[in-house]
Structure 1
């Protein structure tokens, strides 16, 4: 399927089988994988794009050549327009190596790509040629994003450490990783890297928690090995080419279902789940979208379970209007049954839209006299019911004096934290039921945890008692003031966790702009995967704050968000109208699971309207043990001084 010919593809394609240093084993299929990508780009975007593709293979893919190509072919290329597609592909060795001394990481390791001349002496400087660390690639891509943010990065390499020489075959590596070598991994990074690290962040990243990459395909998780010759061939030849021939558009969420993992190698796809590959457009969905897979026993499986808010009896809708009902549900997945008993075939990868029940989150709404006709008295839906007695209400809605809709949240969950917000009257004057449904959805998502679905009705002490303590007893969550030292953000000295008994009170002098970061430490004995979301009661939105798709934290290690080598941008907590407000608060919910969970982006809820306040932020953490998961809740309040 050839895309719109007005869209050009500017690509840097790198494939390395032959390494010059005897310390780095050779590979067999990286150069041919680079050819597969080259051919696919031409077939997809048209042969006229041949001049827009720079391909570096084997001896041509030196460290200096790769960094130079980023600058000349992408960053300084005036032909690249905002609507074009930028593709960066690397196939070769990947390594986890020691970071610079001033670089904060959870386990004192960073991921890096190995150029073809890694380990030999640079003829110009006489120094050992180093690998290319992830922060160098990240900073270079940031510069590309100044002109184009439709960037797809494909890494078919290993991002894990550890030796594999016991499984070499005739001096060729089966996995795209190499051993740690003092000669290669303890030498300092060259000055050119420090110059790149010091480049300023693009303006669009200053005030956002979005990580740079629009779309990332990776052959495996950070701690896994990538088998030589598997990922690229499977992705292009088995998945994308057949779908293109059928004229079927593909999104990242499709790839999560269709690309098969190997034992010890789980491919990673990160980016907007409904974005069409290589394009600036997305499939519009109003509900939560998942892809189905037909199992060998004939049952239909969807990777959506209790951690996604899906339970037995919930309904999924097919594109043709048919519905599938959840028969069984576990934490991570569900089996579905056609409600009409149809035998019509449902192909793998078919999109289904989840419509989870809102019964557990139903709100009781008291409306002021002016709004009583907005919904009939004592009317009831799945998400709300109207009540005549203010004392019975969990939500009270009235019209304000300044053409606003005033919302009072009367649940115990919100009392004393964030009980009032308001919206422009024009947004909801004819849609009070829509506002109530949005409140119910927000309440359902915020309250979701493993023991009781009605967390919103519990006090803080009751919530802590409801969750089995062991689910988070081995996890620490810290909030730090951070500052930039040299090239990287680190906790401000003296280092102090701002959470005290799950509450952080942040005092901001007028005109100040403090920056913050989160540290999640796994003190347990099993690897955990974390998913971080910001729940904003001001506009009932839930935003994705994950710096990576699956924040994997092995036992005894930590992950940082907002600082460190892979934590994205710092957080800022600003009052929208400090002259009219005494404080702000909000919720941060962090799920944890014992295995990666696809589809967690379904937790995101868009804002229901333009809020008259910018809100605050709270924090909530989930920790999984085997087949369990739970939540920890903290509160952040910002007060101007």
Structure 2
């Protein structure tokens, strides 16, 4: 990795505004310890980075201007970092954090050493809002590549617990930061606004970076004595210990955070779309079927208490049922299966699995070690499987349904139909094209009953993966929970008025600003038109919402929102609302391709009374793309008390958005 690692490391103990920032004792120690980890050779469990690739800012050097300038010169404009490459870029910050209010919305900020002072020009020095840093990270991803990691050992809750107690000194300002003038960082937004994406640093759907934070947004990051006899941030000390002790080439970001020891009143946070990728690598760990990590648990008080048991964070929403079979792979293997686990207790967001009890002589489960992964080998769920009919003249039957069953990847969501009557999908050849006809997909059938594709040689070989990708798209688009009819949850869509951080619904469009009528939105193509959404919860339940966009032309699924704060706090309380694409977030733009006169897509909202892990549903690459490969799935090892799951439920709704040429 060595020469491909670039880092900006910031540590601040002593702030200029001493009345607002208590002096820290461990932030500079954190920055130095992290630099040592970067520089130590791999043989000493470091990254072996080159010293010239590391920029370190301590105390008085970590001014607002110094931090922003270093980011631009060391990352954005650094000729040593190849454009559009895979270099590892790391931003580490240890110091105070705070919040500021923008039009009633709380914004997280990082506190430079000179915040709340006056510079040589007589101007007030402000904090660095997370959306500004987020914009810089998005620019870095666009220019240099997506292998970006942000590590924050700071917090933003502040105010109340300013004293040091038995849990350690808090890394948060004593009061909120002053609101940053809208014009201060305006030069970062060309043409007066940013591109159409969410630049909030904490955005769980961020594609530009992985965020590893010392605590959740409502918690406090603290310092404490470490094994080296020095004061450190408790998060940094534990993180470095795991970074040096784990096989990073087999460890994902989510697993890294899950492996950290529990900290009192402090829950480390992992965010970003690529949190399932390998640490400091940026690539997925297991190309192929969705794979889950899992943890040994005890299930006392059930009929299976005498069997070894594990928990996997997939459940009824994903289509798992009692009897679903999981094949287990060792950490270093991408294909070798050595045992089978069977789903016995399935809840909304997790499944308890045990060895196959039909074969007591099979003891291969004893070889399961930490880091082993499970993939679904047999769904045992007829409702999830699509039946595909191919005629006798279809040219690619042997590729799609090979006689060598090992070539047909386990866990796929389709089987061959004997007749066209009752089939979900029909495949045929016409004019050197593959013709795909959808029969039972009600939502997709409204906008795209047929798909045509000219197959390249590689696509013919990967035809099972392509069809599986299309079927997965349809399955989650059509997915509903008929057993639980939730009322009081609605999804509104708005034309956005104004610019971040104070954009809001434009009441001139739609009914009181809401464009949705009977689950449908009709738009006319227009330049510089941006849109946002409001999720309204009048159900009487605290909910966890997940918003996706389904593109029926490319069969892609984009994740637009998921809860940022782990498994505990609901972001959508009963009687409240949640917005996407408004306020501090930039709006969402819909547009037509040059050869299109109309286009449609589905905005789908899943919601549940408990936290789910649905980010893996996203399918960023089109199955129609010649380079398409199936997605992977990794998951955290957190265990949820099975006794609390019975009353938890989920539901879904969607809005069809259609745009026509002006």
Structure 2 residue corresponding to 1:194, chosen from 186, 190, 194: 186
Q: Shift of the alpha carbon at 1:631?
A: 1.0
Structure-2 residue corresponding to 1:570? 588
Within-5 A mapping of 1:168-567: 168-169=164-165, 174-181=169-176, 184-186=177-179, 188-189=180-181, 192-198=184-190, 211=206, 213-228=208-223, 229-237=233-241, 239-244=242-247, 248-262=249-263, 264-271=265-272, 272-295=274-297, 299-320=309-330, 321=337, 322-339=339-356, 340-342=362-364, 344-355=366-377, 356-357=379-380, 359-367=382-390, 370-371=393-394, 374=397, 383-388=414-419, 390=421, 392-401=422-431, 403-426=433-456, 437-451=468-482, 467-470=484-487, 473=488, 475-482=489-496, 485=499, 490-492=504-506, 494-495=508-509, 496-508=513-525, 514-522=529-537, 528-546=543-561, 553-555=571-573, 558-566=577-585
Residue 139 in structure 1 maps to residue 143 in structure 2: no
Residue 118 in structure 1 maps to residue 87 in structure 2: no
Could you list the per-position Cα deviations for residues 204-241 of structure 1 after superposition, in whole angstroms to 9, with x for gaps in the alignment?
989xx97452322122233333233222211221x221
Does the 8 A contact of 1:513 with 1:574 survive in 2?
no
Structure 1, 154-163 or 592-601: larger mean CA deviation: 592-601
Change (3 A) 1:227 1:351: farther
Task: Please state whether the residue corresponding to 1:634 is helix, strand or coil.
Answer: strand
Q: Shift of the alpha carbon at 1:599?
A: 5.8
Task: Please state whether the residue corresponding to 2:329 is helix, strand or coil.
Answer: coil
Structure-1 residue corresponding to 2:98? 95
Change (3 A) 1:573 1:292: same
Structure 1, 189-198 or 15-24: larger mean CA deviation: 189-198
Partners of 1:86 and 1:362 lie apart in 2 by 42
Does the 8 A contact of 2:434 with 2:453 survive in 1?
yes
Structure-1 residue corresponding to 2:637? none
Change (3 A) 1:46 1:250: closer
Could you list the per-position Cα deviations for residues 349-400 of structure 1 after superposition, in whole angstroms to 9, with x for gaps in the alignment?
32222344452133344545633993899x999733425354x343333333
Could you list the per-position Cα deviations for residues 584-637 of structure 1 after superposition, in whole angstroms to 9, with x for gaps in the alignment?
3333322233444346315548533249xxxxxxxxxxxx99611111222222
Structure 2 length-normalised TM: 0.76
Does the 8 A contact of 1:256 with 1:598 survive in 2?
no
Residue 129 in structure 1 maps to residue 152 in structure 2: no
Partners of 2:237 and 2:345 lie apart in 1 by 35
Structure 1 length-normalised TM: 0.79
Residue 586 in structure 1 maps to residue 601 in structure 2: yes
Partners of 2:160 and 2:495 lie apart in 1 by 38
Does the 8 A contact of 1:399 with 1:406 survive in 2?
no
Change (3 A) 1:80 1:489: farther
Change (3 A) 1:124 1:539: closer
Structure-2 residue corresponding to 1:464? none
Give ranges in structure 2 of 5+ residues lacking alignment: 224-232, 300-307, 331-336, 357-361, 406-411, 627-644
Task: Please state whether the residue corresponding to 1:370 is helix, strand or coil.
Answer: coil
Does the 8 A contact of 1:324 with 1:336 survive in 2?
yes
Could you list the per-position Cα deviations for residues 103-160 of structure 1 after superposition, in whole angstroms to 9, with x for gaps in the alignment?
xxxx5111101122322x3141434432211122122323433542222111122133
Partners of 1:362 and 1:415 lie apart in 2 by 18
Residue 627 in structure 1 maps to residue 658 in structure 2: no
Structure-2 residue corresponding to 1:638? 659
Partners of 2:289 and 2:171 lie apart in 1 by 39
CA RMSD of aligned residues (A): 3.9
Does the 8 A contact of 1:158 with 1:225 survive in 2?
yes
Does the 8 A contact of 2:525 with 2:661 survive in 1?
yes
Structure 2 residue corresponding to 1:86, chosen from 89, 93, 100: 89
Partners of 2:650 and 2:465 lie apart in 1 by 31
Partners of 1:438 and 1:325 lie apart in 2 by 25
Does the 8 A contact of 1:306 with 1:330 survive in 2?
yes
Partners of 2:462 and 2:115 lie apart in 1 by 62
Partners of 1:608 and 1:135 lie apart in 2 by 33
Change (3 A) 1:89 1:521: farther
Partners of 2:464 and 2:119 lie apart in 1 by 71
Partners of 2:329 and 2:100 lie apart in 1 by 47
Partners of 2:208 and 2:469 lie apart in 1 by 30
Does the 8 A contact of 2:496 with 2:505 survive in 1?
yes
Change (3 A) 1:348 1:46: closer
Partners of 1:202 and 1:250 lie apart in 2 by 34
Change (3 A) 1:307 1:16: farther
Does the 8 A contact of 2:535 with 2:578 survive in 1?
yes
Partners of 1:507 and 1:384 lie apart in 2 by 40
Q: Shift of the alpha carbon at 1:576?
A: 6.6
Q: Shift of the alpha carbon at 1:488?
A: 7.3
Does the 8 A contact of 1:418 with 1:585 survive in 2?
no
Does the 8 A contact of 2:546 with 2:562 survive in 1?
no
Partners of 1:197 and 1:126 lie apart in 2 by 25
Partners of 1:432 and 1:10 lie apart in 2 by 40
Could you list the per-position Cα deviations for residues 251-283 of structure 1 after superposition, in whole angstroms to 9, with x for gaps in the alignment?
223225323454553322234244222224332
Partners of 2:614 and 2:373 lie apart in 1 by 12
Q: Shift of the alpha carbon at 1:35?
A: 2.0
Does the 8 A contact of 2:349 with 2:611 survive in 1?
no
Does the 8 A contact of 1:422 with 1:538 survive in 2?
no
